[in-house]
Chains A and B, each alone.
Chain A
Amino acid sequence: MTDRLFPTQEIGSLMKPRWQLLGQRGEPLDTAAQTDFARWNDLLHFVPGDDPMVRKFLGDRSREVGADTVRDWAALFMIRYLEATGLDRVYDGEARRIEMYEYPVRQMRGFQFLGHVRSFDNKYYLKAAGTGEVRLDRPYHVEEFEFVRDHAKATPKLPITGPYTLADWSYNEYYLRRHEGWKGPEVRRSAQRDFVVEIAKQAIRPTLAALIEKGCKVIQIDEPAAGTHPHEAEIVAEAFNAATEGLDAEFSMHICFSDYRPLFPALLEAKRCTQWAWEFANRDTDGRDGYEILKMFNEYGDTRQIGLGVLDPHRDEVESPERVKDRILRAVKILGDPRRIWVNPDCGLRTRRLDIAYAKLQNMDRGAKLARAEFASRAG
């Protein structure tokens, strides 16, 4: 835990560099990928430039390097990239992960993948059905965390998909089938609760326990689906508590691009959550105050930490340090206690080019410094 005001943290995945994608496939790097690798390595020194393997990689023998080494380099690159922007808490930009649903589900029994469902336009995701009792094959993200733990200078914060989102993005057959008769709204809700809590207890909690045993102290549980069915917010909270029960770590809950109002007050029952890391900057446009929603925490007397989204991941525009400072100070004005605020992007910056994401994160750090300075001058 940092003692300074407005500490900064990452919140999710970053765009994979082209050299990683080509390298993992064993394809030779083109000139653009070679230049990109060399440029970032000059800046961040994530691998020794005179390493024979690096020379092979930048030559035309990338196949000899192997996908595992390339992934390690990508993870190292992301760690150094995030640290260089001044963040207090970092991870590896989820460099080893393809997505946040299929991989966790494949570590569990009781699921069967059925096919692709359209998310929008020509974008799809592979969707599974819960067809049996949920059981964990083996805890996941553990080796990934150990690598970050062993290489990061800043505190690692591990992101993991939450039980509600895993259930919501799946079909519920097994727990629905246990109810006889017509499956109306009440039956569906009850079966969904059983499904979500079972994932929390049987799969997420043992995984978290394994991670904590390896030294993981800060864990972000991602629940992007929490806003999809606001009337199920109490299930989100119950599952969060079940997944974290008896475990000793800091747990935050990340939600984004949702209407948060209907989640109050039911979501606040997630008693073991120490920080709400939500998206705000995205809605802080066109004359709207994206931080007004923070008043809801005051309304319900919730005084937990806020992971304050100050960067919009959907725009190339790099927020100025002054804008970041303004957003932080507006949040302080609403919440009162500046010690409650952590500063982060709204969500993962994976949709932005790495140079743009880097500039955004640098300005986030500068904005937090400006906000600190303002507080210091007030105190002085």
Chain B
Amino acid sequence: MQTVTSLTGAFPRSEVLVEATRDLDRGRTTPEAVQELVLRTEADVARLEERLGLEPPTGGYLRWQDLFRPFAETWEGFTVGPLTRWFETNQFYRQPILHAPPARVPGAIASWLPPAGKSGPHPRKAILPGPYTFSGLVDNRSGETSEALTHRLGRLLGEEVHELHLAGYTAFQFQQPLLVSHPPEGVRAEAVVAAYKAIETAAAGATTAVWTFFGDAQPSWPLLTRLPVSLVGVDLSETDALKLAPSTERRGLGLGVIDPRTSLVEDPAEVVRLARSIAERHRPSTLWIGPGAPLDLLPWEPATRKLHGLPAVRQGLESLGGGS
């Protein structure tokens, strides 16, 4: 079993970047100055990931205002809608409004991702909205059914994966909180499977992951095990993974071991004990260890502090015979 530690969502903005973006809104600085700071901070995050052995690096997604904004602003068919609560958090996203069946704009999403770093590691993991969460959280006025939209978004995200793969991205993680907070059934569930089949075809061997959070994965687990992806991740703050039925085919498993809802730092020894017992039950080909949900629910410093526990977790699992 290979053990991999990785960032699994957006990282918080540094206090300096917080101040700069506030100043931008108040007209006290320029967009160019903020853009320069974003680039430098993304490089800082990528270097932090490299130093802690988190791979592939992501750069932290600091310029994304929310999970959907790059799509809502660049893909055809969308406009940016009202502020909407982001699950059971004190964060809000601007709900995309879909006026017509969406169309992808080549190169648009790539421009929202960190460029190849000149001085730091090049981000190679893309974190994208999962098609079910995406279709479920837009204000769909396109006339297309929810199922058809899920399937269509799967095909479009597949094209995105293909383009980013060619640009050097090697891993693609799809954020799917809605899959566990509001599990689909019947034709809606089949649309999810179809969407991921489209992604799998386009991924052409790249690593693909579905990451679930903000809900217990147990009710959705039968569906999650059917998805043709390299691994499925569950948030251990919400899901008792020891109660999940092991998959019949050997594949990867993701464990969200850092809880961004609390600043309390997890005890690596405790995490190792829990992760090991889960791994013994599921016998995954690869074990991904990372935050259970995006760390931008925390300020920069506590998020960084919590991440520093991951190398010890990885070493602990490897020393117990879980290494590659």
**Minimum C-beta distance from A226 to chain B (A):** 12
Scoring B264, B298, B302 by chain A CB atoms within 10 A of each residue's CB, the highest score goes to B264
Cβ of A229 within 8 Å of any chain B Cβ, yes or no, is yes
Chain-A contact segment, one of B20-28, B116-124, B182-190, B201-209: B20-28
Cβ of A288 within 8 Å of any chain B Cβ, yes or no, is no
Cβ of A122 and Cβ of B297 under 8 Å apart? no
- A182-B274, A225-B90, A228-B90 given; A118·B296 CB < 8 A: yes
| A247 to B27 Cα, complex, angstroms | 48
Cβ of A116 and Cβ of B18 under 8 Å apart? yes
Chain B residues near A168 (CB, 8 Å)? Answer: 90
Cβ of A120 and Cβ of B94 under 8 Å apart? yes
Cβ of A116 and Cβ of B299 under 8 Å apart? yes
Cβ of A120 and Cβ of B66 under 8 Å apart? yes
- A120-B65, A173-B262 given; A183·B93 CB < 8 A: no
The chain A residue with its CB closest to the CB of B84 is A120
Cβ of A109 within 8 Å of any chain B Cβ, yes or no, is no
Cβ of A129 and Cβ of B13 under 8 Å apart? no
Cβ of A119 within 8 Å of any chain B Cβ, yes or no, is yes
Chain A 108-127 interface residues, beta-carbon cutoff 8 Å to B: 114-122, 124-125, 127
Chain B residues near A171 (CB, 8 Å)? Answer: 261-264, 298, 302
The one of A114, A119, A169, A184 that contacts B302, using a Cβ cutoff of 8 Å: A114
Count, chain B residues at interface, CB 8 A: 38
Cβ of B18 and Cβ of A119 under 8 Å apart? no
Cβ of A185 within 8 Å of any chain B Cβ, yes or no, is yes
Cβ of B22 and Cβ of A173 under 8 Å apart? no
A-B pair number, CB within 8 angstroms: 92
Cβ of B261 and Cβ of A188 under 8 Å apart? yes
Cβ of A172 and Cβ of B91 under 8 Å apart? no
Chain-A contact segment, one of B101-109, B159-167, B225-233, B234-242: B234-242
Cβ of B91 and Cβ of A185 under 8 Å apart? no
| A183 to B258 Cα, complex, angstroms | 10
The chain B residue with its CB closest to the CB of A232 is B88
- A122-B24, A185-B237 given; A172·B262 CB < 8 A: yes
The one of A127, A173, A181, A225 that contacts B264, using a Cβ cutoff of 8 Å: A173
| A225 to B88 Cα, complex, angstroms | 10
Cβ of A127 and Cβ of B259 under 8 Å apart? no
- A120-B83, A122-B21 given; A115·B296 CB < 8 A: no
The chain A residue with its CB closest to the CB of B266 is A183
Scoring A114, A169, A177, A185 by chain B CB atoms within 10 A of each residue's CB, the highest score goes to A114
Cβ of B270 and Cβ of A115 under 8 Å apart? no
- A115-B300, A185-B238 given; A122·B22 CB < 8 A: yes
Chain B 284-308 interface residues, beta-carbon cutoff 8 Å to A: 296-302
The one of A116, A169, A172, A184 that contacts B237, using a Cβ cutoff of 8 Å: A184
Cβ of B112 within 8 Å of any chain A Cβ, yes or no, is no
| A172 to B259 Cα, complex, angstroms | 12
Cβ of B298 and Cβ of A117 under 8 Å apart? yes
| A199 to B18 Cα, complex, angstroms | 29
Cβ of A188 and Cβ of B237 under 8 Å apart? yes
Chain A residues near B21 (CB, 8 Å)? Answer: 122
| A353 to B92 Cα, complex, angstroms | 24
Cβ of B301 and Cβ of A115 under 8 Å apart? yes
Binary contact readout A323-355 vs B (1 if CB under 8 angstroms, 0 otherwise):
000000000000000000000000000000000
Chain A residues near B256 (CB, 8 Å)? Answer: none
- A173-B262, A188-B237, A188-B261 given; A116·B15 CB < 8 A: yes
| A229 to B238 Cα, complex, angstroms | 14
- A114-B299, A168-B90, A228-B90 given; A184·B262 CB < 8 A: no
Chain A residues near B94 (CB, 8 Å)? Answer: 120-121
Chain A residues near B250 (CB, 8 Å)? Answer: none
Cβ of A124 and Cβ of B66 under 8 Å apart? no
Cβ of B301 and Cβ of A117 under 8 Å apart? no
Cβ of A148 within 8 Å of any chain B Cβ, yes or no, is no
The chain B residue with its CB closest to the CB of A230 is B88
Chain A 171-229 interface residues, beta-carbon cutoff 8 Å to B: 171-173, 176-177, 181-185, 188, 225, 228-229
Binary contact readout B65-95 vs A (1 if CB under 8 angstroms, 0 otherwise):
1100000000000000001010011111110
Chain B residues near A125 (CB, 8 Å)? Answer: 90
Cβ of B299 and Cβ of A115 under 8 Å apart? yes
Scoring A172, A182, A183 by chain B CB atoms within 10 A of each residue's CB, the highest score goes to A182
| A308 to B266 Cα, complex, angstroms | 45
**Minimum C-beta distance from A286 to chain B (A):** 11
Cβ of B12 within 8 Å of any chain A Cβ, yes or no, is yes
| A355 to B299 Cα, complex, angstroms | 37
| A120 to B274 Cα, complex, angstroms | 34
**Minimum C-beta distance from A158 to chain B (A):** 24
- A117-B298, A118-B12, A183-B259 given; A124·B264 CB < 8 A: no
**Minimum C-beta distance from A164 to chain B (A):** 12
| A229 to B85 Cα, complex, angstroms | 11
| A118 to B259 Cα, complex, angstroms | 17
Binary contact readout A250-261 vs B (1 if CB under 8 angstroms, 0 otherwise):
000000010000
Chain B residues near A182 (CB, 8 Å)? Answer: 236, 270, 274
Q: Chain A interface (Cβ within 8 Å of chain B)? A: 114-122, 124-125, 127, 129, 168-169, 171-173, 176-177, 181-185, 188, 225, 228-229, 257
Taking A114-B298, A115-B15, A122-B24 as given, write out 19 further A-B residue pairs in contact, using a Cβ cutoff of 8 Å, ordered by the A residue number: A114-B299, A116-B13, A117-B297, A118-B12, A119-B90, A119-B92, A122-B21, A122-B25, A125-B90, A129-B262, A129-B263, A169-B90, A171-B263, A172-B264, A176-B264, A182-B270, A183-B262, A225-B90, A228-B88
Q: Chain B interface (Cβ within 8 Å of chain A)? A: 12-13, 15, 18, 21-22, 24-25, 65-66, 83, 85, 88-94, 216, 236-238, 240, 259, 261-264, 270, 274, 296-302
26 contacts between A and B (CB under 8 A): A114-B301, A114-B302, A116-B13, A117-B91, A118-B13, A118-B91, A118-B296, A119-B92, A120-B66, A120-B83, A121-B94, A122-B65, A124-B18, A129-B263, A168-B90, A171-B262, A171-B298, A171-B302, A172-B264, A173-B262, A173-B264, A182-B274, A184-B237, A188-B262, A228-B90, A229-B88
Closest 6 A-B residue pairs measured CB to CB?
A115-B299, A122-B21, A120-B92, A171-B263, A129-B263, A173-B264
